[in-house]
Amino acid sequence: MKESNFNNTLIIIPIYNCEKHLSELFSRIKAVSEDCQILWINDGSTDNSLIIIKKHQIEDAWVNRMKFIDLGRNRGKGYALKMGFIQAQRKGFQYVITMDADLQHEPALIPNFIKTQNLFEANLVIGFRNFNFRNMPFTRVFSNSITSSIVSHVTDKKILDSQSGFRLYDLNFFDEKEIKTDRYQMETEILLKFIKKGARICHTEIPVIYRNEKSHISHFRDIVNFVKVVGKTVSYKH
């Protein structure tokens, strides 16, 4: 099994109206290593997100390691990620790291995901947050705790943070034809599909970062959709 490194791992970042964070995020990733390779996926942003990404691509000497896809209209985070995974496979990458564009995922921790994969020969590394009412909204603590417990029970695997989008994936376990969902529940679906295939799951701790910004997620709807996805995979346990 080939280990993850900056050359065979593509960082995929879906974007939806994150114009005020993109330049800072770009700088932080570049500070990790100029060997990092990024694929930005604009998911129908109505602000200046795409303009900012194009500006960086034109002006920065790092351009050969940064690409973008413009989906044209909002298709959902899951769809954006799926398009990124397909592109990564086509370009010969073996791993992808997914992270959000709103600075809730700290780029300085990217090497921790690669180190964890190398150490444990992991097929999926999940960044887990310590759920705490002091640093997370109640709705987040509730939904994350419930969904992580359900996934752990259904799969007989200890999953510490089923809703975390900061992850490293082994693309050998990804098959685009198996992914049926397009929005946030896609991350639950792909987790279940990886486990079904016998993927080695590991975790690395990440901090809780919130900036009191408007979320695009409806937590009640998110849990309902989550239950629907898990309900279709209940047979995974046996």
Where do the structural domains in the chain lie, given as residue ranges?
Answer: 9-237
Structure token pair of residue 236: 């995974």
Tell me, which fold does domain 9-237 have in CATH?
A: Spore Coat Polysaccharide Biosynthesis Protein SpsA; Chain A (3.90.550)
Cα–Cα distance for residue pair 175/172, rounded to 1 Å: 8
**What pLDDT, in 10s, does the model give residues 116-170?**
999 999 999 999 998 765 666 667 777 788 889 988 988 999 999 998 999 999 9
Other Cβ atoms less than 10 A from the Cβ of 2: the count is: 9
Angle at 42 between CA 168 and CA 91, to 5 degrees: 50
What pLDDT does residue 60 have? 76
CA-CA distance, 113 to 125, in Å (whole number)?
Answer: 6
The tokens describing 226, both together, are 């989550």
Q: What share of the chain has pLDDT > 90, as a percent?
A: 63
pLDDT number for residue 231: 61
The fraction of the chain above a pLDDT of 70, given in percent, is 83
pTM for the model: 0.89
Spatial separation of the C-alpha atoms in residues 88 and 69, rounded to whole Å = 12
Distance between first and last Cα of the chain:
27
Cβ neighbours of residue 51 closer than 8 Å, sequence gap 6 or more: none
Q: How far is Cα 170 from Cα 47, in angstroms, rounded to an integer?
A: 33
What is the pLDDT at residue 81?
A: 97
**Contact 171/95 with Cβ under 8 angstroms?**
yes
Backbone angles phi, psi at 152, to 5 degrees: -60, -40
Residue pLDDT, tens place only, 85-112: 999 999 999 999 999 999 999 999 999 9
**CA–CA gap between residue 135 and residue 129 (Å, rounded):** 10
- DSSP single-letter state for residue 148: H
| Alpha helices (H) in the chain, listed in sequence order | 19-32, 49-59, 77-90, 110-120, 138-155, 186-196, 219-231
User: In which band, very low, low, confident or very high, does the pLDDT at 237 lie, cut at 50, 70 and 90?
Assistant: very low
- pLDDT higher than 60, residue 22: yes
